[in-house]
Structure formats: C-alpha cells, structure tokens
A and B are shown apart, each in its own frame.
Chain A
Amino acid sequence: MVEKIATRDAYGKALVELGKENENIVVLDADLSKSTKTYAFGQEFPDRFINVGIAEQNLMGVAAGISTTGKIPFASTFAIFATGRAFEIIRNSIGYPKLNVKICATHSGITVGEDGASHQAIADISCMRTIPNMTVVVPSDSVETRAAIHAVSKIDGPVYVRLGRLAVPVINDEASYKFEIGKGIILNEGNDVTIIATGLMVGEALKAAEELEARGIKARVINIHTIKPIDKEIIIKAAEETGAVVTAEEHNIIGGLGSAVAEVIAENYPVPLRRVGIKDTFGESGKPEELMKKYGLTSDDIAEAAINLINKR
C-alpha cells in the first residue's frame, strides 16, 4: 500500500524547517492556519507568524509590505480566496513590483470535497499564470512539496504554490528526488503517447500508464510541477517523439496546464492534444474520490483520452 500524505501537511513541515534555517521567513495566514498547516510554524516561531484574520486582501497587501523590507513572507489561505478574492492585490502589489512574496495556497481543486463549489478553486492556475513575473508551482506529492518550498524560498520574486487538502500517494523518492524550478520530470518512458500531468493528477497519470501498458501502449509520463515558466523543451521533444499529448490536471481545462501545454505545442510542434480536467463547470459537494470520478479526473479518463487520440492517428 502506497503511503498517502496531503501536500498541505508537507508544506507545514517544510515551513518549520525553513523557519529554523532562515530567520527572514515570516508566515501569514488568514484564520485558516490549522487547515493550511501554517499553525506549526506559528507555534514554533510566534514572533514571525502573523494572523491577519479573515481578510485575504489585507493578507496580500501586508505580505507585499513585509517583502519590501527584505524579509520573505509566505502567505497562506485557501486557493479560492488567495487567487480569487485577493487577485488584484496580488497583481498590483506583488506581481507588478515583482516582490518576493510566496503565496502558498491550500485546498485547491475539486478534491476540497464536501465544502462544495464555493470552496473549490478550479481557475487558480489560470489566474496566477497570467500575472507577469509570477512563478507557478504545483507539487504532485509530499516529497515534491518539501523540495519545492525550500526551492522557492531561495529565488527572488513572487511565486504561487498550489497545494491540496486531500492525502495523495507519495510517488517520488525522498532520497533521490531533485526539484528544479521550471524543469519537468519524465516519470515513465514511452513513445506511443505522452501524458503531461501536474499536481495530484501525476499519480493518476502513472496509473493510466500502467493501464495502457497492459494494452500494449507505451506512454511517456511527464510531471510538470512548474506551470510557469513551463519546460518547453521537454514538451516539444515529447510532441516530436510521441506524436500525441494528453494533459491531466485537477483544474478547469481552460487556462491551466492543458492550455499552457497547448500553447507550447501549437507554436512549436503541432500534434493532436486532449485535455483531461474539469470541463468548464463548477464542482459540488461529495467525497474527493467521488468527485474525481464524476468530473472525469481518474486514471481511466486519462487512459481513455490517450486511446482515443491514438485511434484517430
């Protein structure tokens, strides 16, 4: 049985590690610290933890102000509020002046589950990647999250890190894993079709590759943990060598990973593409696994898209 850990849990632990390493790290939360897991940092470093209350706009404004004094603020709340409610503060007070703020939002995507559509951020990648200067990172598991949080703390500039509530399979090996911002990772070799996935859909993509393998199809699986800047090289090479691409994301098919990959392929090496994701609709309450099934976000959906693509070739 594969171990399952939520990326938000890995985030909370990584923050405490960072806090010990670097006294310039300041963590801000908007009354959700027990859910976003910034609470542990607050317990360990109370002087460097700021709860702004239920005020996400001010969360981003205060983080911006702190960063102008040379400190490194990590601002956390749910993805829907961070990237929706506070969008324009992020754009004008963080993105435009290229301030060193790390926006680490949890409870992204439909796997928020029972809270329903109002709390399910399905356009956050889209919103954040359209802001110039913004780096967008979507870790696939706890190992990648830890590495990503350490890495983004060391670059100067705004970063959006998309984290989840749901415990997801640990697919990367802690000992050997290397994270490099902007560099995709090939997790499975194959030349029949490419599956490009991000976040918790990387795990589903790996399962899909196994299903395809059983049917004699060798799928290349690429983990794109950095949506922006996107790894064009690995995508173009995959398009050239496999001739068909399926993207998989727990996000609206408009504006997220699928769109980003489509932009790269269309401009460089056009090949047939299918986007697996939420089909421009709001979610609803339910168990995460039920929602993933209902909204077409399982390994079966990915495998089916790959087969359809291959059959049309």
Chain B
Amino acid sequence: MNIQELETIATDIRRDIITMTAEAGSGHPGGSLSATDILTVLYFHEMRVDSGNPQWEDRDRFALSKGHAAPALYAILAKKGFFPGEELLKLRKIDSMLQGHPDMKGTPGVDMSTGSLGQGFSASCGMAISAKIYKKDYRVYTLLGDGELQEGIVWEAAMFAAHYKLDNLTAIIDHNGLQIDGPNEEVLTVGPVADKFRAFGWNVIKIDGHCMEDIIASIDEAKRVKGAPTVIVAKTVKGKGVSFMENVVDWHGKAPKDDQKLQALRELGGEI
C-alpha cells in the first residue's frame, strides 16, 4: 500500500472517529485523532493479522495502552474487516461490542483489554517475553499517551523490557503534549521522554507522528534493532485534522455536537 493510499485510509478513520463520538455523545476524539496515522500504518502496512482469524496464534499483537483512543482502534478494525462497520455507530451504547475502552473479550481484533493507563504497556511486555520463551516470531506493538508516562507501572515495564532485551517489542508514544488537566508541562513534566527511555536501555527513535514515511521508517528500523526494545517518540497534534480541535485540551474527552460534527467532516473532505 502506498503513502497516498494510507493517507486516504487515515482520513476515512478520522471521519469515522468524528461520526462515532458524535453519535455516542461522549468519548475521546482528541487523542484518537492524534493516534490515527500511527494506527493506520500499523494495521494497513505493518502488522501480520488476519481478520478472518482474530485469535491466530502467530499474529502480531497490539495493545492500545492509551485505551481512551478506542474510537480510532475500532474504526481501524472495522475497516480491516474484523467486524461490520455499522457496529461503529453503537460505540458506548448498551449491549454494544464496542465499549468505551477496549474489551478483548467482546471485540474481535482487540488483543488486550485496556483503559486504565500503563497496563497495556505492561501486558505487551508479557506478550513479547512469551514470544521469546516459546520462540515465536510475532512482534508486539503498543501505543501510549504522553500523560500516561506519569503512571509508575510504565517505568516498571520499561525497566523490564530492557532487562529482558525484548527487541520484538515496539512501543510508540503519541506525544501530543496535552492531557486532561492541561499541557504535560503544567500538570507534571514528562520530558525529556527520549532521554528517559534511553537511560532505561531502550533504542529511541523520534519522528513526526503524522508523517507516513517517518512512521514506516521508524517501525522498519525497530525491527532491525537487536537486543533492545524500541520506543518511537512520535510528535503529534491532539485533534489532528480538525481545525477547531487541534491542540485544544478540551477536546480530550468531549464529543462533537451536530454542527461541530458537520464542520469537522467538511474539513476532512469527502461526502457528508
């Protein structure tokens, strides 16, 4: 799949995120939009998965450690064919397979139940070390938010992954700089993120998290690195693609109203 095709998919995913959260009346559009390009590359360019066999033993794994970006993951999984697209409009509603945060038992294609921050990262370390023990060649990916780095378990897991040389694990930080109560620097400084992971023994790559070429190249590089896990620190824009949401902290956990939805869809192009 070429870059242009990936970008087209990413735009479709962003449109889905807007439509889903508007329909749900709640959810987290900001961090879903910032993670969209990364997730698009993972699922449409990189990961070895089979929508016809979601539990395939040798598949690559993904844990959405920033579980609140579930709308982005669900839109991706639907587009990959793990479940019908009409499910997306049932997000967060009663009896839906699409919970507010990922539920591995309810949603085909979800490899780990997440939502409580830091835990998906820890679980991804478990998936990766299991592959080492049992000599499996699948790779494990996990996506974290930057505010999430404030959780203690993240650094327990970071120490663990380096100690056990989990080079089959790639963590990606969706570094959009904002968390619920404001900019990271105002709430609790998380940086320098790259230096911290380097000090923990990780291979670190810094990229523009909205540049498809960058994302692809960094994942390729991570696969070549032996003896250490890789973290990709992806500079992103919260609310990316929707002008009035970009870099606005209030859009962390708020759904667009009808007029906002229409404006967002217009900006993202395509039919409304």
Instruction: Please encode chain B, from 153 to 169, with 1 for each CB lying within 8 Å of some chain A CB and 0 for all others.
Output: 10011011001100000
B152 at interface, CB cutoff 8 A: yes
Q: What CA separation (Å) do A183 and B219 show in the bound complex? A: 52
The residue among B119, B129, B164 with the most chain A CB atoms within 10 A of its own CB is B119
Taking the nearest CB of chain A, how far is it from the CB of B235, in angstroms? 27
The residue among A52, A62, A65 with the most chain B CB atoms within 10 A of its own CB is A65
List B144-192 residues whose CB lies under 8 Å from chain A: 152-153, 156-157, 159-160, 163-164
Do the beta carbons of A68 and B112 come within 8 Å of each other?
yes
Do the beta carbons of A66 and B127 come within 8 Å of each other?
yes
Asked whether A98 and B126 contact (CB < 8 A) given A57-B152, A61-B119, A89-B153, the answer is: no
Q: How many A-B residue pairs have CB under 8 A?
A: 109
Do the beta carbons of B122 and A61 come within 8 Å of each other?
yes
Closest to A95 in B: B113
Asked whether A93 and B123 contact (CB < 8 A) given A26-B130, A71-B130, the answer is: yes
Q: What CA separation (Å) do A70 and B133 show in the bound complex? A: 13
Do the beta carbons of B131 and A69 come within 8 Å of each other?
yes
Do the beta carbons of B127 and A92 come within 8 Å of each other?
no
Do the beta carbons of A62 and B113 come within 8 Å of each other?
no
Do the beta carbons of B126 and A65 come within 8 Å of each other?
yes
Taking the nearest CB of chain B, how far is it from the CB of A188, in angstroms? 43
The residue among A47, A63, A64 with the most chain B CB atoms within 10 A of its own CB is A64
Closest to B111 in A: A68
Give the number of residues in B that approach A within 8 Å (Cβ atoms).
Answer: 35
A217 at interface, CB cutoff 8 A: no
Instruction: Please encode chain A, from 16 to 52, with 1 for each CB lying within 8 Å of some chain B CB and 0 for all others.
Output: 0000000000100000000000000000000110101
Q: What CA separation (Å) do A61 and B153 show in the bound complex? A: 9
Which one, A57, A64, A88, A93, contacts B156 given CB within 8 A? A57
Q: What CA separation (Å) do A256 and B163 show in the bound complex? A: 38
Which one, A53, A64, A92, contacts B126 given CB within 8 A? A64
Closest to A64 in B: B123
Instruction: Please encode chain B, from 49 to 66, with 1 for each CB lying within 8 Å of some chain A CB and 0 for all others.
Output: 000000001000101000
Q: What CA separation (Å) do A219 and B15 show in the bound complex? A: 70
Which one, A64, A66, A70, A97, contacts B129 given CB within 8 A? A66
Do the beta carbons of B112 and A62 come within 8 Å of each other?
no
Asked whether A93 and B127 contact (CB < 8 A) given A68-B111, A70-B57, the answer is: no
Do the beta carbons of A53 and B57 come within 8 Å of each other?
no
Q: How many of chain A's residues touch chain B, expressed as a range?
A: 20 to 34
Do the beta carbons of A52 and B105 come within 8 Å of each other?
no
Q: Which B residues touch A68, using CB under 8 A?
A: 61, 104, 111-112, 123, 126-127
B103 at interface, CB cutoff 8 A: yes
Do the beta carbons of A62 and B123 come within 8 Å of each other?
yes
B212 at interface, CB cutoff 8 A: no
Asked whether A50 and B157 contact (CB < 8 A) given A61-B123, A65-B123, the answer is: no
Closest to B113 in A: A97
The residue among A52, A55, A69 with the most chain B CB atoms within 10 A of its own CB is A69
Do the beta carbons of A97 and B126 come within 8 Å of each other?
no
A96 at interface, CB cutoff 8 A: yes
B124 at interface, CB cutoff 8 A: yes
Which one, B61, B119, B130, contacts A93 given CB within 8 A? B119
| Known A65-B128, A96-B103; further 10 A-B contacts with Cβ < 8 A | A57-B156, A61-B157, A62-B123, A65-B125, A69-B130, A88-B116, A93-B123, A97-B104, A97-B112, A98-B105
Query: Could you name 8 residue pairs across A and B whose Cβ atoms are closer than 8 Å?
Result: A47-B133, A53-B159, A57-B122, A67-B126, A69-B57, A71-B133, A73-B126, A88-B116
